[in-house]
Amino acid sequence: MTQLYATLLDESTHPDALCGAPDRDLALDLLWDESVAEDVLRALVPHELTDLWAGDVPLFTTRPGSRDVWSASGEKIADLLPVSGLDAVAAKVAALDEVDRHDQQWLISAALASRPRPVDHRTGAAVPAPLEAGVPDPQRLLVAACGIADEVLARATVDGRRVNWVGLELVDDRHWAVAGMGAGLSNGYTGVALFLAQLGALTGASRYTKFARDALAPVPGLLRSFAADGELAVAVGSGAFHGLGGICYALARLANLLGDDDIQGWLREAVDIAAAVEAVGEDPANLVEGWAGGLAAMLAVHTESGLPAARRLARRYADRLLAANPAGDGFARGRAGVGWALLRHARASQDHRYGVAGRAHLRADHALRQRLLDVGEADHSWCSGLSGAVLAHSAHPDQPVDTYTMHLDRCLNALAVHEPLRDLSLCHGELGVLESLAVLAERGHDLATAMLSRRAGLVLGALEQYGARCGTPGGVPSAGLLTGLSGIGYALLRLGLPERVPSVLLLETPANPNPREERTR
């Protein structure tokens, strides 16, 4: 209402309205129109008009135990409210059930967890010992993932045909906020939908696929907003986890997992918008927010959907990276991620220029060498630590590995000596560490295979003893992919059925994708 009052004040003091009292009355009569169906609001209009004629914003107050309302002048409007504020609150509290109480407890915990504090993208404390390992057979891992998915569904807010979640989201990599999910792959509804759709495809359970599809309801409107407001799309950026690249990757995967032609149409629109953003040329080079992420995402989109526009856009991103001079270490925001993306493009395009540039970035990335100097180094994370560095250097078996930067057994030994982490998330938790072992195991590395089985069993033990602890402040449960429950659930699926569940941290597609687009289109 304050905005309405301010607008009315502005319009009613316009020179055209000041020519006479009837003209000003005509502008203020909007209040009568707004309150025609509300007895309480209609009773307030005379007092609102008095304040507005005096050039002031109307103000009304009440008291907790009273049904009376007082105007800005102190005049009492007796028994205006149907019930006092105190009685209304008491009735609301009395009507809360166990689920409502759980939701309120979560909101309080999340709000307290979002207090200003340094954001640290590093692996944290270990699980308290002793930890009893479970048997990591595929069925048990699938059951654990279903349990997490059921918790995600229980936390959803359902409004008509739309589903969304309130979660803890990292804003500008500087602070955490309690908010409804946006569209990003990292901690938005597309990431949650990807987990649910993948689980639905594996189990045949329609409740998961329905929630996944309903979560995507805002996408058409979002794409229309991007198309109408280029600056908004540019602000979102090209990245794989915090940008349009990740949204496109999720839509490509979801179109096939859900068998939905509408999603395929949204994907085409999203790729066109991403191309317009790339043409502006304002993104950083890195994987999470920038061109490297866009490159990896478009390569995956082309493989998954067959869209020629995605292949062309991938080439443009790669050319951007050839001219870029990225700074920093690590996979998510450093030169390792840039080098990895270029090597992936070199493999797809058979153009050695990108491979030369990619290996140069890997050699220049200091993260791996620094961490190899000390096997006790605390940071083994995917985003900035040893696990991400291992992925960057080993993800493409047909690309030569530079022995100056890659000492695989030493990396594995460094990962082996650390205790399982309390944080199970993909970003900087235990399951991000296990992704590097999973990739090496797929490449036939015997030590990695043995380590992966042991660590997967410990993850199951941690889940049974302590629950699915997220990578949020205080481990507060949140539904997102990189730091939340959906990522933990997705990683469990990948551990149990790696041949059917591609790596989301590497933006991979299924081994035998079924593109829904004609490649000549």
Tokens, residue 158: 């359902």
Cα–Cα distance measured from residue 253 to residue 197, given in angstroms and rounded to the nearest whole number: 9
Q: Please, are residues 440 and 408 in contact by the beta-carbon 8 Å criterion?
A: yes
pLDDT value for 356: 92
Last residue of a domain, one of 362, 386, 418: 362
Residue 384 shares a structural domain with residue 458: yes
Residue 345 shares a structural domain with residue 238: yes
Residue 417 shares a structural domain with residue 475: yes
Cα–Cα distance measured from residue 495 to residue 438, given in angstroms and rounded to the nearest whole number: 7
Cα–Cα distance measured from residue 491 to residue 432, given in angstroms and rounded to the nearest whole number: 8
pLDDT value for 405: 47
Cα–Cα distance measured from residue 416 to residue 286, given in angstroms and rounded to the nearest whole number: 28
* Domain hosting residue 264, numbered range: 217-362
Per-state percent for the chain, helix, strand, coil, to nearest 5: 55, 5, 40
Does this model's pTM top 0.75?
Answer: yes
Buried b (16+ CB within 10 A) or exposed e, 344-373: bbbbbbeeeebbebbbebbbbbbbbeebbe
Q: List all residues 6 or more positions away from 249 whose beta carbon is below 8 Å from its beta carbon.
A: 185, 240, 297, 300, 301, 507
Check residue 128 and report its DSSP letter: P
Residue 394 shares a structural domain with residue 505: yes
Residue 335 shares a structural domain with residue 374: no
Cα 411 to chain centroid distance, Å, stands at 29
Q: Please, are residues 343 and 292 in contact by the beta-carbon 8 Å criterion?
A: no
Residue 354 shares a structural domain with residue 370: no
- Kindly state whether residue 309 falls inside one of the protein's structural domains: yes
Last residue of a domain, one of 322, 341, 362: 362
DSSP SS3 for 115:
coil
Dihedral (C-alpha) 158, 164, 169, 173: value to the nearest 10 degrees?
Answer: -160
Residue 493 shares a structural domain with residue 376: yes
Residue 415 shares a structural domain with residue 327: no
- Kindly state whether residue 497 falls inside one of the protein's structural domains: yes
Cis peptide before 116 (omega within 30 of 0): no
**Could you give the C-alpha distances from 415 to 331, 431, 434, 505, in angstroms and in order?**
16, 12, 9, 18
- Kindly state whether residue 353 falls inside one of the protein's structural domains: yes
pLDDT value for 520: 33
pLDDT value for 15: 62
Residue 339 shares a structural domain with residue 307: yes
pLDDT value for 518: 43
pLDDT along the chain (521 residues), means of 10: 72 59 61 74 85 84 94 92 93 85 83 70 69 89 97 92 88 80 95 98 96 97 96 95 97 97 97 97 93 98 96 97 89 92 94 92 74 61 87 68 58 77 90 91 84 92 92 90 96 96 96 56 35
Alpha helices, DSSP H, located in 229-280: 230-236, 244-258, 261-280
Total domains present in the chain: 2
Which residue, chain included where needed, has tokens 């007092």?
47
- Kindly state whether residue 21 falls inside one of the protein's structural domains: no
- Kindly state whether residue 191 falls inside one of the protein's structural domains: no
The secondary structure of 148-166 as a DSSP string is HHHHHHHT-EEETTEEE-E
Residue 256: which of 521, 487, 511 has the closest Cα? 511
Cα–Cα distance measured from residue 378 to residue 447, given in angstroms and rounded to the nearest whole number: 21
By the 10 Å C-beta count (0-12 exposed, 13-18 middle, 19+ buried), 4 is classed as middle
- Kindly state whether residue 259 falls inside one of the protein's structural domains: yes
Residue 337 shares a structural domain with residue 381: no
Residue 383 shares a structural domain with residue 272: no
pLDDT value for 309: 97
- Kindly state whether residue 473 falls inside one of the protein's structural domains: yes
pLDDT value for 330: 87
Residue 162: φ, ψ to 5°? -105, 145
Last residue of a domain, one of 301, 333, 362: 362
Cα–Cα distance measured from residue 86 to residue 102, given in angstroms and rounded to the nearest whole number: 22
Residue 404 shares a structural domain with residue 333: no
Dihedral (C-alpha) 428, 433, 436, 439: value to the nearest 10 degrees?
Answer: -110
- Kindly state whether residue 9 falls inside one of the protein's structural domains: no
